[in-house]
Amino acid sequence: MQTELNELLSWWVEHMVDKENGGFYGRMDGQGTLHKNADKAVILHTRLLWTFATAAVQTGSEEHRRWANYLWEYCSENFIDQVNGGVFWMLDAEGNPINTRKQIYAQAFAIYAFAAYYELTKDEEALRQAMEIFWLIERYSIDKTEGGYIEAFDHFWRPIDDMRLSDKDQNTAKTMNTHLHVLEAYTLLCKVNPLPVVKEALTDLVNYFIDRFIDPNTHHLHLFFDKHWNVQSDEVSFGHDIECSWLLWEAAEVSGDEALIEKVKRVSVQMARVTLEEGLDEDGSLFNERFANGHFDTDKHWWPQAEAVVGFYNAGVLSGNQAYITAAFDCWAFIKQHLKRGEQGEWHWRVDQQLVPGLTDDVGGPWKTPYHNGRMCMEMATRLK
């Protein structure tokens, strides 16, 4: 796992650093062509900052620390809105803001990244920025009447009609995906700065998942909701299910609430169980989605496989059931054989059920970073010691 992490991060440094304009290039396509003029997404850069900073904490690598410093400087100088607070959604290749909307998903990743950088360096400015964004989310995004977080706002934190995270998403007021990443951000923020208000917000998020997002009958996640918590979707995302199972457990542990920890332990194992029973292909890999009509998206995307390794292993430790441990290692074997791009460091975005790589999908870009697979490496290296 440590070797895999080093290969991933070395690939990003070798291929994606923009030495002319700063930051990292915005895109490399599935054919290996670098798009130097591609726009630069806040998701790409904050995920990279989180990954390099967390890797530096774990490995003590000066190289990883150096790139974390580089990314912190770029993010703090270019993505932070110095007037209205929060982070911009998109810059052009030269680093100029071109989409200044305030997507809560992106604000969460900024907190996640800045908190990780603070954990590494104890840079008070990084913690200050993380806490400032925390307060902006709590001020503008939280639904003070019905609970939960509203998806997105304009440059000035005013409501907007189109709140979609991407063209593939539904335009709904509340989504599981955004709440999941606010959860992981608040978990790390609570770890490095355990103020009562942060711990309370984290505990509330854990309870939203138990009470709202996780179906008590199927143990799958509901993905989209209107403002009043009416469910607006019926597909199953196996990757999010297994990712949530271990992130929820991590959040409960950091909260320190013993009653919540016991409740989440049961929920986490249940989510892993239904993923194991319903989402695995015969080769040990995880299907992407299941639709309301019972049909499956049988492609094997890179990030659900990475989350499956951690989620199944976590369930195995919590339950004592060896089947989960076996599933984690089977999925890792699938990754090594079919998702790794030979000796080229990064992974393919996906392979289909015939194991043919999807070369029309990015190797690196706004939604393809070493965050899921890098985190898998770091989580497993720690857990396997």
Domain definitions of the chain by residue range: 2-383
pLDDT by residue (tens digit) across 316-369? 999 999 999 999 999 999 999 999 987 668 999 999 999 999 999 999 999 999
Which secondary-structure segment (H or E) carries 117? helix 104-121
Q: Is 302 helix (H, G, I), strand (E, B) or coil?
A: helix
pLDDT by residue (tens digit) across 181-239? 999 999 999 999 999 999 999 999 999 999 999 999 999 999 999 999 999 999 999 99
Residue recorded with tokens 């990030």: 303
Q: Are 238 and 304 in contact (CB under 8 A)?
A: yes
CA–CA distance, 286 with 297 (Å, rounded to integer)? 10
Burial of residue 149 (CB within 10 Å: 0-12, 13-18, 19+) is buried
CA–CA distance, 184 with 132 (Å, rounded to integer)? 17
Q: For the beta carbon of residue 319, count every other beta carbon within 10 angstroms.
A: 18
Mean pLDDT of the chain: 97
User: Looking at the domain 2-383, which fold is it?
Assistant: Glycosyltransferase (1.50.10)
Give the CA count within 13 Å in the CB-facing half-sphere of 273: 13
Residue recorded with tokens 């509340």: 174
Strand segments (E) across the chain: 40-41, 90-91, 97-99, 102-103, 152-153, 174-175, 224-225, 236-237, 289-290, 296-297, 300-301, 350-351
Q: Which residues, in sequence order, are bridge partners of residue 236?
A: 290
pLDDT by residue (tens digit) across 262-321? 999 999 999 999 999 999 999 999 999 999 999 999 999 999 999 999 999 999 999 999
pLDDT by residue (tens digit) across 139-159? 999 999 999 999 999 999 999
Return the exposure string of 228-248: e unless at least 16 CB atoms fall within 10 Å of the residue's CB, then b.
Answer: ebeebbeebbbbbbbbbbbbb
pLDDT for 342 equals 77
